Amino acid sequence: MLMECRPLLSEARCEPVIAGTVLDQDGKQLPTQMPGERALTLYLDKREIVTLMSLGQLPEALVLGYLRNQRLVENLRDVASIQVDWQVGAAAITTLDGDGGERCNDLLRRRTVTAGCGQGTQFGNALERLTPLRDDGFRVARSTLFALIDRVRQLDTVYKRSGAVHGCVLAAGSRILHHVEDIGRHNAVDSISGLMWMEGEAGSDKLFYTTGRLTSEMVIKVVEMGIPVLVSRSGTTEMGLDVARQCGVTLIGRARNERFMVFNGAERIDFAA
C-alpha cells in the first residue's frame, strides 16, 4: 500500500505514569505509580468535536485514528496538521480546505453514547456505513495464536506498573507491530489505527489483540481498519458477536495461556497447526 502524504504533527508525548504514595492495609507508607489521565479536546478546523481522556503517550496518532475510524476525515492527505497543546488540553486539526468542521455536521448531530471508557461517543450510524470484510483466504494457525498471546503477556506494560489501563496490539502472525496502552481500550485502538494510516499498513493480513471486552464498537473499529481477526483475553457482548457475524470478523475471546474460545469465524483458524 502506498503511504499517503503525512500531515505536520506536533510531538506532545506525555509520560504515562505518575509517582505517588499510598498506605497499605497495615497503615505503612509505600511508593506507587498511577497512570496519568489527561483531557484532550479535539477541534476540527476550529469546530469542537469531542473530549478524549488519555494517557497522552501518542496523542497525534490517537487523533488521526479517531478521525479515521469515525470517518470525520476520509483521506490522510486532507489533513494539513495536528497540533497538540497539553497546557490547554487541546488538539487543533487543520484540513487543507479548512472546512472539515462544516462537512461533518451531519455526523456530529447523530451521536451514540457507547460503553467505551475514556471515549464513549460514536458519530453517525456506524453499522450502516460498514462494508463486510472479504474472505481472501487469510488463515491463522492455533500455534500462532498461542505464541502471540504469550508475547503479549511478556510485554513491559504500564498496566504491570500501575494498573488501570487497557492495551491493544497489532500483529503480523505472532510478531507484534504496534503496542499501545491508554485509559480506554477505544483510545488504544484509535492510536494504532492512526499509526497504520501514517505508515500505509493494510489490515487484511493482520491480527488485533485487546485486553478489553469485545463490544460492538470494538468490532466496528477493526472492520474500519480492515482487520479480519480480533482477539481478547476478555469475552464478547451479544451485539459484538452480531456485528462480527454481519461483517465476517473472526472473534476470539477468553484468550489466556494456551486456551481461547472462537465465537465467530472459525474457518480462519487452523486448529491442527
Q: How many domains would you assign to the chain?
A: 2
- The CATH number of the domain holding residue 264 is 3.40.140.10
Q: Is residue 73 part of a domain?
A: yes
Query: What are the pLDDT digits (tens) for 14-36?
Result: 999 999 999 989 999 999 999 99
Q: Is residue 161 part of a domain?
A: yes
Q: Is residue 132 part of a domain?
A: no
Q: Is residue 155 part of a domain?
A: yes
Residues 84 and 22 in one domain: yes
Distance of CA 178 to the CA centre of its chain: 11
Residues 54 and 12 in one domain: yes
Residues spanned by the domain of 230: 140-270
Q: Is residue 115 part of a domain?
A: yes
Q: Is residue 134 part of a domain?
A: no
Q: Name the DSSP class of 213.
A: -
Residues 90 and 172 in one domain: no
Query: Residue 210 contacts by C-beta under 8 Å, 6 or more apart in sequence?
Result: 166, 167, 168, 169, 185, 188, 189, 218, 230, 231, 232, 234
Residues 213 and 262 in one domain: yes
Closest CA to 270 of 158, 181, 141, 165: 141
Angle subtended at Cα 121 by Cα 208 and Cα 127, rounded to the nearest 5 degrees: 65
In this structure, are residues 101 and 47 in contact, taking their beta carbons and an 8 Å threshold? Answer: yes
Q: What mean pLDDT is reported for the chain? A: 91
Q: Is residue 128 part of a domain?
A: no
Residues 204 and 151 in one domain: yes
pLDDT at 112 over 60: no
* Domain finish residue from 78, 93, 123: 123
Angle subtended at Cα 161 by Cα 253 and Cα 207, rounded to the nearest 5 degrees: 30
Residues 98 and 27 in one domain: yes
**Minimum mean pLDDT range among 20-34, 104-118, 183-197, 232-246:** 104-118
pLDDT at 118 over 50: no
Q: Is residue 252 part of a domain?
A: yes
Burial of 34 (C-beta count, 10 Å sphere; 0-12/13-18/19+): middle
Residues 114 and 158 in one domain: no
Helix then strand then coil, % of the chain, to nearest 5: 30, 35, 40
Sort strands 207-210 and 229-232 into parallel, antiparallel or unpaired: parallel
Q: Which residues of 202-239 are buried (b: 16+ CB within 10 A; e: fewer)?
A: ebeebbbbbbbbbbbbbbbbbbbbbbbbbbbbbebbeb
Residues 83 and 184 in one domain: no
| Cα–Cα distance for residue pair 101/95, rounded to 1 Å | 9
Residues 42 and 83 in one domain: yes
| Cα–Cα distance for residue pair 114/262, rounded to 1 Å | 24
The mean pLDDT value for 166-180 works out to 97
